Structure 1
Amino acid sequence: MLEEVNFKIVVLDLISGRIDKTSPADVKTIANFSKPLTDYLSSINFKVLVVGHGIGGAAVTYAMEMNPDKIEKAIFVQAVMPKDGETPGLYINGQLATLAAQDVLNYNFNDKGVATSISINTTVAPWYLFNRSPREDKILGMALLTDSPYAILNEVMHLTPGNYGSIKRFYITTYMDRYFPASVQKQIYTNNPPKAKFILKNGDHSPFFSEAPYLFNHLRSLANSQW
Structure 2
Amino acid sequence: MDLMNSLNVDEKVILVAHSFGGLAISKAMELFHDKVHMAIFVTALMPGPTFNFTFLSKGLVRWQAPLLDMKFIFGDGPNNPPTLSIGGPLFLSLNMYDLSPREDVELAGALVRPQRLFSNENIDTSLVLTPERYGSVNRIFVVSEKGKTLMKEFQLWMIKNNPPNHVEHIQDSDHMVMISRPLDLGDRLLSLAKKFA
Q: TM-score range by the shorter chain?
A: 0.7 to 0.9
The aligned counterpart of 1:44 is: 7
The aligned counterpart of 1:200 is: 170
Q: Identity of counterpart residues, as a percentage?
A: 28
> What is the rounded CA distance, in whole Å, between the counterparts of 2:112 and 2:18 in structure 1?
14
Task: After superposition, give the CA deviation of every residue in 1:39-78 in whole Å (9 maximum; x if it has no partner).
Answer: 1111112111000100110001111001112110000010
Unaligned runs of 5+ in 1: 1-37
User: How far did residue 183 of structure 1 move?
Assistant: 1.0
> What is the rounded CA distance, in whole Å, between the counterparts of 2:31 and 2:132 in structure 1?
11
Distance 1:124 1:55, change over 3 A: closer
Distance 1:200 1:77, change over 3 A: same
Unaligned runs of 5+ in 2: none
Return the TM-score normalized by structure 1: 0.75
Distance 1:65 1:90, change over 3 A: farther
> What is the rounded CA distance, in whole Å, between the counterparts of 2:133 and 2:91 in structure 1?
40
Among 207, 213, 220, which residue is 2:183 paired with? 213
The aligned counterpart of 1:158 is: 128
Return the TM-score normalized by structure 2: 0.86
Task: Give every structure 1 segment of 4 or more consecutive aligned residues whose post-TM-superposition deviation is greater than 3 Å.
Answer: 93-96
> What is the rounded CA distance, in whole Å, between the counterparts of 2:119 and 2:131 in structure 1?
22
Task: After superposition, give the CA deviation of every residue in 1:72-128 in whole Å (9 maximum; x if it has no partner).
Answer: 0000010111112511534224445x634xx34233322251222222122342121
User: How many aligned residue pairs are there?
Assistant: 187
Question: RCO higher in 1 or 2 (8 Å CA, sep ≥ 6)?
Answer: 2
Q: Could you say what secondary structure the match of 1:138 adopts?
A: helix
RMSD: 1.9
Q: Could you say what secondary structure the match of 1:50 adopts?
A: strand
Distance 1:194 1:64, change over 3 A: same
Report the residue type matching 2:22 in the other structure: G
